[in-house]
Each structure stands twice: as structure tokens, then as C-alpha cells.
Structure 1
Amino acid sequence: MMDNDTLDMLRTSLRHVLTEATNVPLADRLGELGWDEVVADDPVTALHTLFTLKGDTVSSADALGPRLAAALADALGDPQLTTATVGMESPFGPSSLTDGSLTVDAVVFTPPSDNPVVVRVDGEHLAVVVGSALTCTRLTTTDGELAQFRLTGTVPASQVQCIEGATASIAWSAMVTHGRWLLACELVGIAQHVTDSAAQYTGERIQYGKPIGTFQALQHRIATAHVLVVGAARLAEHAGHSGDEWSALVAKAVAGQAAETACTQAQQCYGAIGFTWEHEFHHYLRRTYVLDRLLGDWRSLEREIGNELMNSRHVPKIGML
């Protein structure tokens, strides 16, 4: 477990790495910090800190892709897949596997080059194919600073490694659980930054001879956002330590709602300046919408949570909740 001084130094170093202007891949820059040793020593604290800061700084570096590959490789017991690119569900259609070929349609965060690509097919199997066999096209998204690419192509079945049955389902679920936790941390980082920045602005903006932060209507908006953010932060912290599927599901749902709510309330505090291109706010709003929709948006996850509670007639305890 990291002590406070070590954690402060880690935060400072990671903030510098995430905000520096460079084309060097994030993995290489983290390697210079001895990142693998830090993660090996205290993985929960290290990853929680990295992704929360990534949300706070709205860094466009791909930190999620390598972690999804690592989680999948670990679940499958296949170290070679640590360099793989995991294909996420495409809005254009699913990947499918027939007797003769694999048709791929997936979204990734980094072009795979010659690395293996893993996609889920038919909702139950995993298929592994060489990335160079696929066409990679950059997508135009809500957040243009966060690169996303569409992988498409048809590959002969003879060139596809298929992982079937329970092995595939368990491994994919483990990867989704890990990814949801990391995304929850990143969304919490966004929500915290947006709420803190809005609170600071209302303390500085003068209207009718006094800071607008003294007006009760805006105080209520900041308080509403703050309550959700604090709750989401606690859930994300617990999900990291527990590592279970339910905690990650709830943490992702609450973090997505908290980030969206924080942006909604902050926009009302900012007024017209919040609509300008020059203000930082739109970067956080755009990032919130993109991240929330990865591995399940908060509204869909909320329905999933509700259905599970109704079917099981049991409310699992999460941390102190």
C-alpha cells in the first residue's frame, strides 16, 4: 500500500506525463517512470490514480486499450495477448463468424498494425486475427481529440483463432469488469474537475455586486453535483479493491451519471461562457459523452441493475452502502 508521500509524487509524475505535448506512446512514457513496477507493487492505487488523473486532465492518450488487453490475456492465461488490440462493439454492426470466414466490425483506440486483434463474435465466442488483415479507418466522433478507429474486414476462417464456450465468456466478462472500473475512475476524475472548476468560477464571477456563488440557486446546483461525485468516487474506489463484476457495474453506472450531472449543473453556473469554444468546459462534456457509452452507458446499466435486483430479490452490499 502506498504511503501519502509516494502517492503525491506519483500524482505529480503522472500529471506531467498526461499533459506533456508529445507523440511518444503513453506506454513508453510510463515505462520511463518504472510503471510496471509501480503497478506490480500496488495495482489498485496505481491504476485508480492514473485513470482519475486522465479524466481530470482530459488526456487523449490511450491508457484503456492496453489494460483491456492485459485483463483479457490474464483471464485466458495467454501472455501473448498482452500486446493485442481488443475490438469494442461497433455501432455499425456486430462481428460474425461463419464456417468459411470471420467478418470484423469493431472499434479500437489505437491502430493494431501487426498485433493480434481480439473481437467478440455472436455474443459468445472470441476470435483472434492479425491486425494487418483488417482495414483501419479513423472515426469522426463527438470528441475529436480522443482517437477511435473502425476495424473492418473479412478473414478466412483458417487464419482465425477461435476461443469458445465458458472460457471465452468468463474471460470477456473479466475484461469488461476491469474496463468498467477504469472508466468509472476516469469519469470520476472528469466529474471532480468540472464540479471544482464551476465552484471556483461562481466564487470569482461578480454579478449585482457579489459573487454569483452566494446565490442559493447556484449553490444547490454545485451541491447536487458534489454529492453525486463523492458517492461515485467511493464506489469506484471500492470496485477497485473488490474486483467483482457487480461493484464495477454499479461504479460505472453511477460515475457516468455523476459526470453527466456535473456537466449539466456546471453549464448552468457558467452561463454563456460555457458555450464558447475558448472555454475548457466543452472538452470535458464531450469526453463524458464518449466515455459513458463505452462498455455500457449509465442509463442502460441502470436498467440492468434494476432488472437484476428485481429478479434476484436481493440487494448486494457495496462498501458502506
Structure 2
Amino acid sequence: MDTAERALLADAVRKTLVSGADLADLGWPAMLVEEPDTVVPLLFRLLGETGTHAPVLNDVLLHAAGRPLGGTPPLPYSGGVRLEWVRDGSAYDSPLDPGLPLRRTEADDPALPLAAGRRALGWWLLGTGHAMLALARRHVLDRHQFGRPLASFQALRHRLAETYVALEGAEATLTAATDDTGAVLAKAAAGRAALTAARHCQQALGGIGFTAEHDLHRHVRRALVLDGLLGSSRELTRAAGVLLLREARTPRLVDL
């Protein structure tokens, strides 16, 4: 898929997500099977940027396991909790982010390969982080204080620059992730970057960022929930450290 085709696909996916239409009508199942390395980063990043959601994480995990699409596998969550992503419109209970159709389950599936899901969630977190950065950037450019735009204040510039660097680093890690260890590190990096974005962008937006009328709080809640799915950034960082200590070597993630 060349650059022009990717741009057309991104535009079609964005319109589908914003309109609330079914991704299956766009050919999502076929694209996942035929072009996973292209469509998964594109779709999940757009889910973050648009603040929408779809039960596509289920499909990514099921496809990685070689199982039929359409099911609801149990999803490990931070703290030993297991959730399922509801597909059928039945009741769910996601108190931190009521917009996500997640509910607790007692089911478990130790054989479910998580690497593909962690990479997908990493791209979703990356898109969410960029959405928060865009909101903060627009605010500091438009608002003035003491006769100067907020963007001229060095403290705010440093916060937004740190956010941008964290997001760029997470994207590089996601792009390089090709195995289980890479997926663990990429999900951890993306989670940390999204939480960094939430912290710094909240400071840049000030009081308005706490209001229900502003979009920031929706992205902050989304980042907190997605960070916990399939292992939080803290848990995955600890797991990567245990792996490195056990193997007494550092795996090569990128050939330079």
C-alpha cells in the first residue's frame, strides 16, 4: 500500500469512526487478515485521535491466536482483573470511562497471545496522546495572558515539548516492536507517553481542562483505562526488567 492509498484509507476510516458506522462495512475483517501491519497502526491511532472506540481489540487478539473473529476473549487488566469488551450492546460497567463497553469477567485464557494486542493498544494510546497535545497546543496559541499568548511562556513550552518527545519516542518503539519483548516495551512506552501528555496538557489548559464541556477529560480517562489493559506501563516495565535479569542480556530491538 503506497502513500496515496494509505491517505485514502485513513480518510475513510476517520469518517467511519466519527459517523459511528460499522467498520465491517469498510472491510475491517479482510484488511486485518490481509494487511495487519498497515491497518492496525492506522486504525488504532485514529481511534485515539478521534476519541471514538470499536471492539477491534478483540479481533486483533483472536486473529493473532488463529481463531475466528467476532468473539469476546477475556482481557487481562492491571491488578489481576479480567475484563471483556462487550460487542452485543448488553450491560457493561466501566466506571472510570463510561464510554467504553467493558465489564468484569471471571473467564481466563492463558493461551491468548497478547503481543499483537499490546502493540495495537500502544498505537491507540499514541493517538490519544496526540489528541491531548493538539488540544493543549490550540489553547496556548489562542489564549493570552498579560498581553502575551500563553505559548510564549517558557514553562508551558517545556511541558508541551516534553510531551511531544515522549510521544515521538513511543512511536519509534512501536514501529520497532516485532516480538513479545518489543511489544511489552512498546506498550509500556506508549502508556507512559499518554500519561505524560495527560499531566502536562492538563497543566497547559488550566481550569478549563477540568470542565465537562472541554474534551480533555475524555482523553485523560481513555488513556488511564487503555494503559491498564493487557498490563499497565508500570507492570510491563517491571516485567521487562525481570526478563532482562533472568536472561542476563539485552535483546536487540533495532538493527542500526
* TM-score normalised according to structure 2 size: 0.91
Match of 2:147 among 204, 209, 227: 209
Following superposition, the deviation at residue 306 of structure 1 comes to 1.8
Where in structure 1 do 4 or more consecutive aligned residues deviate above 4 Å?
A: 90-94
Q: Which has the higher contact order (CA 8 A, sep 6+)?
A: 2
Instruction: Number of aligned residue pairs: give it.
Output: 256
Equivalence for 2:97: 143
Q: Is 1:48–1:237's contact at 8 Å kept on the other side of the alignment? A: no
Partner of 2:138, secondary structure, is: helix
Corresponding residue for 1:131? none
Paired position in structure 2 for 1:272:
207
Corresponding residue SS for 2:98: coil
2:221 match: 286
Q: State the Cα RMSD in Å.
A: 2.5
C-alpha contact (below 8 Å) 2:128/2:219 kept by paired residues: yes
The AA in structure 2 aligned to 1:238 is A
Query: Scaled by the length of structure 1, what TM-score is found?
Result: 0.73
2:123 to 158, 175, 185: 185
Q: Give the unaligned 5+ runs of structure 2.
A: none
Match of 2:53 in 1: 60
| Structure 1 segment 62-101 matched on structure 2, within 5 A | 62-72=55-65, 74=66, 79=67, 81-89=68-76
Distance in 2 (alpha carbons) for counterparts of 1:257 and 1:217: 21
Q: Write the distance in 2 (CA, Å) between the matches of 1:301 and 1:292.
A: 10
Amino acid aligned to 1:272: G
1:6 to partner: Cα distance: 0.5
Question: How many Å apart are 1:316 and its aligned residue?
Answer: 1.6
CA distance in 2 between counterparts of 1:82 and 1:107 reads 18
Matching of residue 218 in structure 1 with residue 211 in structure 2: no
**Cα 1:137/1:197, change in 2 over 3 Å:** closer
Distance in 1 (CA, whole Å) between partners of 2:44 and 2:254 is: 21
Q: 1:145 to 1:187 in 2, by over 3 A?
A: same
Deviations 1:172-205 (CA, angstroms, capped at 9, x unpaired): 2xx2111101100100111112112212221111
SS of the aligned residue for 2:114 comes to helix
Q: Which has the higher helix share?
A: 2
Aligned counterparts of 1:213 and 1:298: Cα–Cα separation in 2 = 30
> SS of the counterpart of 2:97?
coil
Question: Are the equivalent residues in 2 in contact too, given 1:202–1:213 (CA < 8 A)?
Answer: yes
Q: Take 1:214 and 1:320, find their aligned partners in 2: how far apart are those partners?
A: 40
Q: Classify 1:16/1:301 alpha carbon distance in 2 versus 1 (closer, same or farther; 3 Å).
A: same
Q: Which runs of 5+ in 1 are unaligned?
A: 23-28, 95-105, 114-135, 154-161, 163-167
Amino acid at match of 2:14: R
CA contact (8 A) 2:33 2:63 kept: no
